[in-house]
Chains A and B, each alone.
Chain A
Amino acid sequence: MKKNANLACEFIGIKSINPFWLASAPPTDKAYNVIRAFEAGWGGVVWKTLGEDPAPINVSSRYGVHYGQNRQVLGFNNIELITDRSLQINLDEITQVKKDWPDRVIIVSLMVPCEEEAWKNILPGVEATGADGIELNFGCPHGMPERGMGAAVGQVPEYIEMVTRWCKQYCSLPVIVKLTPNITDVRKPAEAAWRGGADAVSLINTINSITSVNLETMSPEPSVDGKGTHGGYCGSSVKPIALSMVSEIARHPETSTLPISGIGGISNWRDAAEFISLGASNVQVCTAAMLYGFKIIDDLCDGLSDWMEKKGYNNISDFSRMAIPNTTDWKHLNMNYKRIAYINQDACIGCGRCFAACEDTSHQSILKTGDADNRKYTIIEEECVGCNLCEITCPEPNAIVMKDIDTGLPHLSWLHHPANPYREEP
């Protein structure tokens, strides 16, 4: 039996050996990288964005980082543009790699000016490569928008619809529209893509960001000869934003049947499972690979496959969108639900972080007793609102657990709550 057979899946008619594709970015810039990725086991790649010749030129000093306390990379950004190699070299390489790796997916990312002729011209050559689909890069937040492309298009739903329609008209390949998060309501561009005939959307692209300022030179990072510009932020710290946006589109009645390729800070199999449960049919990874190399695909596949087997999911679609019914608006949440914190004294190491957090910044619901040699922290149950802050601050995984309290009361949402002056009668 083939390893991780349960991961084989189909996305808008494209078969893939697993749901893990490399996102359009430096790791998929040329044949050499892509072949290494396929050798490592990646299911597919979205080839780094092609554009019209002449290809843009990149600056030196391209990435800026946001570090955690111990130099762990929480996220980083980039100010790279689309491919800086000529269109023909890329098309030739795509043709050859696809020929050599027929069971792997190659999607070609595209960005040309917002003119019908430009799209009409580039599409036939792309289709001739044998690639499995195209992804429209309407998300790139740096550099390209200044030239009227990337996020400059992605922020105007009418443009998205128009360009998508051109692509469907001049090309028979499936069309994925990549969405920018640098907008107010991600459902609007998704609706536009849907109206334009997109086969799927992929999201999120990177987020407008300045990762840090060099306090010596007073230049934002990454600094190019003493000056910086905003770049596209990525990595595990963007995952919560991406998850929310994916779920918004999956829940939205107008777009609920639009397939989604999930992107944004996916670093491990668990992240991938979460994206899939909230609406993605497959996922794209970039930053984790850029930090650790292509080998992480082994854990992504193995971890997800084993988890699925344990849960009894035979394929990706078995748990796809399973968390959507549980994703709702605030107004539908149960006001009668109660949980409170419980401190497991056997696992507590006495650091008092929960106390500092609760006493200084929350609800004064933790009691500190004992002497210097034996500090003891306990929950004042009457005061605890179940906010989870103590559990979050606790460095020990099992020392604080949140416990459901049976109030014996029925479900009561704000819509019907007596305190709501605009309540709806049931």
Chain B
Amino acid sequence: MSIAHDIQSNRLLDTEIDNNFSDMTPPLTDKQVLVASERCLFCYDAPCIDACPTDIDIPLFIRKINTGNVHGAAKEILSANILGGSCARVCPTETLCEQACVRNTCEEAPVEIGRLQRYAVDRLDRSLPYPFTRESDTGKHIAIIGAGPAGLACAHQLARNGHQVTIYEAAAKSGGLNEYGIALYKLVDDYTQKEIEFVLEIGGIEIKYGQALGRDISLKQLRDQHDAVFIGIGMSNVNALNIPGEELAGVEDAVAYIRDLRQESSLANLPVGRRVIVIGAGMTAIDIAVQSKKLGAEQVTIVYRRAQSAMGASLHEQELALKNGVNFVCNAQPTQILGDDSGITTMEFNRTELDESGKLIATDEIISLECDVVFKAIGQKFSSSPLGSDDKPTLDHRGRISVNENYQTSLSDVFAGGDCINGNDLVVEAVDHGNKAALAIHHQL
């Protein structure tokens, strides 16, 4: 007999939870760094640089580490990517720089670029002056909407160029995805806030909290009051399953749950289902599945409508889930969630297959999985309503803000970057957008 609606707190002891949520990839030791950095071949026109959205000169910073110039390595990283510390921790390096590493070819083991980057940034010598200086005040004032990775990178670059920046942030804390969306074990010890303190040290950046676009401030107002505006508001809506039972208690939005988890001071307090189903195939699906396991869920199953090979999450992420005891059910398309007012008991799926033309079709076969909680992790959507009705930037065919190669929107003084234009969910891409938009704004002003 299954126990229906088994959702409770304190499934594990605090000590167990602390252990489960400790740093997933601990820092390299000095000796490991010596070995890892020596493996870098100092490639010419290195493929890893191409693979990094922020074009960090990876061979150069690794060489600097190897020669003992670790502070120089950190400066090299941060000058290309001011959030190089968090990127080192959260980037899916296995699909970016490390995938491009030439050491994969014969040795099937790339240089550990991400971990080396973390080593360097963590050792920026704070007894030396702040590594960036502001140019003389330009008298220009730029508004940035959203203190996420894109907005912070943009703000830092603009501040370096001598502009005044005000960031309008809807939440109570800055950091965006880094603060509210990244799995806890990837960014421990309140790293996001420490990193933002470092970003703001450049000076000339003010952050106003609790200022949501479309609620507390309007785009028109900001355009009137500033010389340029950068929008980096991410995606606020979550895709729906659109199946019966979705409204029942126990059906949760993964993004919202992770957000709560990231802000919870005592993780044992979080309600955790005994049997958890995660619908989705991306990084968020992996994150919520693994974190559910780490909180003490007995059975966690990721269900995906296509084959496992089509999953958006990298193999590395999938392995992480498997290692944490998460099950995968693939080729299963949600049809309904069963339950009552007190909660849910079962989720049903149709087995899918590919037809002759390669199109995914549902078969008659029904798969039924018992559950207490269902997490939806099937992607987020950009909501354009905060942009207002008149004089708003043009949207692209996916409904996101449309920009040109300079990250400029259809409004010449309004720029945008991060997930609200792209939606790849990558911190490092958001930083790249912020950097490039800042340079374009600087040139324009």
Q: Could you tell me if A70 and B41 are in contact, using CB atoms closer than 8 angstroms? A: no
Q: Could you tell me if B41 and A351 are in contact, using CB atoms closer than 8 angstroms? A: yes
Tell yes or no: B105 within 8 A of A by CB: yes
Q: Could you tell me if B34 and A351 are in contact, using CB atoms closer than 8 angstroms? A: no
| Known A69-B66, A395-B41; contact A350-B47, beta-carbon cutoff 8 A | yes
Tell yes or no: B198 within 8 A of A by CB: no
Q: Could you tell me if A351 and B43 are in contact, using CB atoms closer than 8 angstroms? A: yes
- Alpha-carbon distance between A352 and B106 when the two chains are bound, in angstroms: 15
B50: chain A residues at CB < 8 Å are: 372
Q: Could you tell me if A351 and B102 are in contact, using CB atoms closer than 8 angstroms? A: yes
**Interface residues as binary, A60-103 with B (CB distance below 8 Å gives 1, 0 otherwise):** 00000000011100000000000000000000000000000000
Within 8 A of B (CB), among A368-387: 368, 372-373, 375
Residue of B nearest to A394 (CB): B41
Tell yes or no: B42 within 8 A of A by CB: yes
Q: Could you tell me if A353 and B34 are in contact, using CB atoms closer than 8 angstroms? A: no
Tell yes or no: A233 within 8 A of B by CB: no
A251: min CB distance to chain B, Å: 39
A71: chain B residues at CB < 8 Å are: 34
- Alpha-carbon distance between A373 and B50 when the two chains are bound, in angstroms: 9
Within 8 A of A (CB), among B88-109: 102-103, 105-106
Tell yes or no: A309 within 8 A of B by CB: no
Tell me what chain B mostly uses at the interface: helix, strand, loop, or mixed.
Answer: helix
Q: Could you tell me if B45 and A352 are in contact, using CB atoms closer than 8 angstroms? A: yes
Tell yes or no: A333 within 8 A of B by CB: no
B34: chain A residues at CB < 8 Å are: 69-71
Q: Could you tell me if B38 and A349 are in contact, using CB atoms closer than 8 angstroms? A: no
A355: chain B residues at CB < 8 Å are: 44-45
Interface size, B (range):
10 to 19
Residue from the set A347, A355, A395, A396 with the largest chain B CB neighbour count within 10 Å: A395
**Interface residues as binary, B19-41 with A (CB distance below 8 Å gives 1, 0 otherwise):** 00000000000000011011001
Q: Could you tell me if B45 and A375 are in contact, using CB atoms closer than 8 angstroms? A: yes
**Interface residues as binary, A322-357 with B (CB distance below 8 Å gives 1, 0 otherwise):** 000000000000000000000000010111110110
Q: Could you tell me if A396 and B44 are in contact, using CB atoms closer than 8 angstroms? A: no
B102: chain A residues at CB < 8 Å are: 349-351
- Alpha-carbon distance between A395 and B105 when the two chains are bound, in angstroms: 12
Residue of B nearest to A355 (CB): B44
Residue of B nearest to A397 (CB): B106
- Alpha-carbon distance between A353 and B42 when the two chains are bound, in angstroms: 7
B37: min CB distance to chain A, Å: 8
- Alpha-carbon distance between A350 and B44 when the two chains are bound, in angstroms: 9
- Alpha-carbon distance between A355 and B43 when the two chains are bound, in angstroms: 10
B47: chain A residues at CB < 8 Å are: 350, 372-373, 375
A396: chain B residues at CB < 8 Å are: 106
Residue from the set A70, A351, A375 with the largest chain B CB neighbour count within 10 Å: A351
| Known A352-B44, A353-B41, A356-B44; contact A70-B35, beta-carbon cutoff 8 A | yes
| Known A69-B66, A372-B50, A396-B106; contact A352-B43, beta-carbon cutoff 8 A | yes
A359: min CB distance to chain B, Å: 8
- Alpha-carbon distance between A350 and B106 when the two chains are bound, in angstroms: 11
B66: chain A residues at CB < 8 Å are: 69
Residue from the set B38, B44, B46, B105 with the largest chain A CB neighbour count within 10 Å: B44
- Alpha-carbon distance between A177 and B330 when the two chains are bound, in angstroms: 79
A65: min CB distance to chain B, Å: 14
- Alpha-carbon distance between A70 and B106 when the two chains are bound, in angstroms: 20
- Alpha-carbon distance between A349 and B37 when the two chains are bound, in angstroms: 18
- Alpha-carbon distance between A69 and B106 when the two chains are bound, in angstroms: 21
Residue of B nearest to A399 (CB): B106
- Alpha-carbon distance between A347 and B102 when the two chains are bound, in angstroms: 11
- Alpha-carbon distance between A375 and B37 when the two chains are bound, in angstroms: 23
- Alpha-carbon distance between A268 and B159 when the two chains are bound, in angstroms: 59
- Alpha-carbon distance between A219 and B94 when the two chains are bound, in angstroms: 45
Q: Could you tell me if B44 and A349 are in contact, using CB atoms closer than 8 angstroms? A: no
**Interface residues as binary, B285-308 with A (CB distance below 8 Å gives 1, 0 otherwise):** 000000000000000000000000
A356: chain B residues at CB < 8 Å are: 44
B424: min CB distance to chain A, Å: 18
- Alpha-carbon distance between A353 and B46 when the two chains are bound, in angstroms: 10
A395: chain B residues at CB < 8 Å are: 41
A349: chain B residues at CB < 8 Å are: 102-103, 105-106
Residue among B38, B44, B103, B105 making CB contact with A353, cutoff 8 Å: B44
B38: chain A residues at CB < 8 Å are: 69-70
- Alpha-carbon distance between A201 and B35 when the two chains are bound, in angstroms: 41
Residue from the set B34, B45, B46 with the largest chain A CB neighbour count within 10 Å: B45
Within 8 A of A (CB), among B40-62: 41-47, 50
A424: min CB distance to chain B, Å: 45
B106: chain A residues at CB < 8 Å are: 347, 349, 396
B56: min CB distance to chain A, Å: 15
A373: chain B residues at CB < 8 Å are: 47
Residue of A nearest to B104 (CB): A349
A347: chain B residues at CB < 8 Å are: 106
**Interface residues as binary, A181-202 with B (CB distance below 8 Å gives 1, 0 otherwise):** 0000000000000000000000
**Interface residues as binary, B353-396 with A (CB distance below 8 Å gives 1, 0 otherwise):** 00000000000000000000000000000000000000000000
- Alpha-carbon distance between A70 and B30 when the two chains are bound, in angstroms: 11
- Alpha-carbon distance between A123 and B68 when the two chains are bound, in angstroms: 52
- Alpha-carbon distance between A395 and B37 when the two chains are bound, in angstroms: 15
Q: Could you tell me if B44 and A351 are in contact, using CB atoms closer than 8 angstroms? A: yes
Within 8 A of A (CB), among B177-233: none
Residue of B nearest to A374 (CB): B47
Residue of B nearest to A395 (CB): B41
B46: chain A residues at CB < 8 Å are: 351-352
Residue of A nearest to B43 (CB): A351
B50: min CB distance to chain A, Å: 4
| Known A349-B106, A351-B102; contact A368-B45, beta-carbon cutoff 8 A | yes
- Given A69-B66, A351-B102, 19 more pairs with CB closer than 8 A: A69-B38, A70-B34, A70-B38, A71-B34, A349-B103, A349-B105, A349-B106, A351-B41, A351-B46, A352-B43, A352-B45, A352-B46, A353-B43, A355-B44, A355-B45, A372-B47, A375-B45, A375-B47, A396-B106
Q: Can you offer 13 A-B residue contacts whose CB atoms are under 8 A?
A: A69-B37, A70-B38, A349-B103, A349-B105, A350-B47, A350-B102, A351-B44, A351-B46, A351-B102, A352-B45, A353-B43, A372-B47, A373-B47
Q: Which residues of A contact B (CB under 8 A)?
A: 69-71, 347, 349-353, 355-356, 368, 372-373, 375, 395-396
Q: Which 4 A-B pairs have the closest CB atoms?
A: A352-B44, A70-B38, A356-B44, A349-B105
